Amino acid sequence: MIYTIGAMTDAMPSLPDLSSLTPQQLLEALLPPEELAAQVRRALAEDLGAAGDVTGEAMIDASRTATAVVRLRKDGIACGAAVAAEVLRQAAPGSMLSAHAADGERLEAGRVFLSVQGPLRGILAAERTLLNYVGRLSGIATLTARYVDRARGTKAAICDTRKTTPGMRMLEKWAVRCGGGTNHRIGLFDAMLVKDNHVAGLAPRAMAEAVARAAASARAAHPLRFVEVECDTLDQVREILALPAGTVDMVLLDNMMPDAIVAAVAARDASAPRVLLEASGGIGLEDVASYAATGVDRISIGALTHSASCLDVGLDIEPGA
């Protein structure tokens, strides 16, 4: 794929069903071009300040051009080509970026992910911001893929959470998709998730009644992607499943052990087969397979974004520059 660093395209007019989108379409839906541009502008400003790259300007002739390559230094899932293109559009106008792998593709260490031709000063000014984005996003995609691999062979989808870096949520959720994961709600605005603090002190039946009233009110006021309820006990699960069909779309099984989740799956299958069940609560790589084997539909993992390490990536100027 060739990225010509030119003018921005118009933003998508609305947010469609996220699950139906390709990763590239998802990025444009979550972070329209003008918003991505604004985010990149802030990131570059952190590095360049008011003076710009004082070292590059002193060392590199303004007319000099070069070719640079971005390589993954460890095996992983490549992610961030589209963001790298925006970094270069702003910091190295007139350059051309080539992606030698798609966002979401597995690459072995040493493989070239991106190459760029253009003004050397601009490439060097863009270097660290570009690598920060690609390293962070590739790290999230790589960790997500590890979880997805552990759940393979089951129906359990691996989902992200709202435990994201402030200001980076849309990109981090996009990286989860590139790693094979599934996006949960994007924020507080697009879905209803009743958590324990919303129903603190209510007995299971009273909790279910409160949820039913609130869900009807929320659905009337907003175009919700789904209504979900967090349950800590099987008694709560049974009361929620007993609500009329269509009241609740999902039940989140919080901090339940696999044997309790098996019981919840059996209760769901018997009384409300269309309701999805989601396991959550500190589920790590070492035990995600056992949770996936319970028959649960989704497993939400905060670690995908709050604990992912940056993947080691580097930018090298090709000889002869």
Residues annotated as catalytic are 128, 163, 195, 230, 254
Helix axes 169-178, 23-30, angle to 10 degrees: 170
Per-residue b or e along 294-307, where b marks 16 or more CB atoms closer than 10 Å to that residue's CB: bbbbbbbbbbbbee
Q: Name beta bridge partners: 143.
A: none
Tokens read off for 148: 């997805």
Tokens read off for 154: 């089951």
* SS3 labels along the chain: CEEECCCCCCCCCCCCCHHHCCHHHHHHHHCCHHHHHHHHHHHHHHHHCCCCCHHHHHHCCCCCEEEEEEEECCCEECCCHHHHHHHHHHHCCCCEEEECCCCCCEECCCCEEEEEEEEHHHHHHHHHHHHHHHHHHHHHHHHHHHHHHHHCCCCCEEECCCCCCCCCHHHHHHHHHHCCCECCCCCCCCCEEECHHHCCCCCHHHHHHHHHHHHHHHHHHCCCCCEEEEECCHHHHHHHHCCCCCCCCEEEEECCCHHHHHHHHHHHHHHCCCCEEEEECCCCCCCHHHHHCCCCCEEECCHHHHCCCCCCEEEEECCCC
Give the Cβ contact number of residue 232 at 10 Å: 15
Side by side, the strands of the sheet bearing 65-72 are 2-4, 96-99, 112-119, 65-72, 313-317
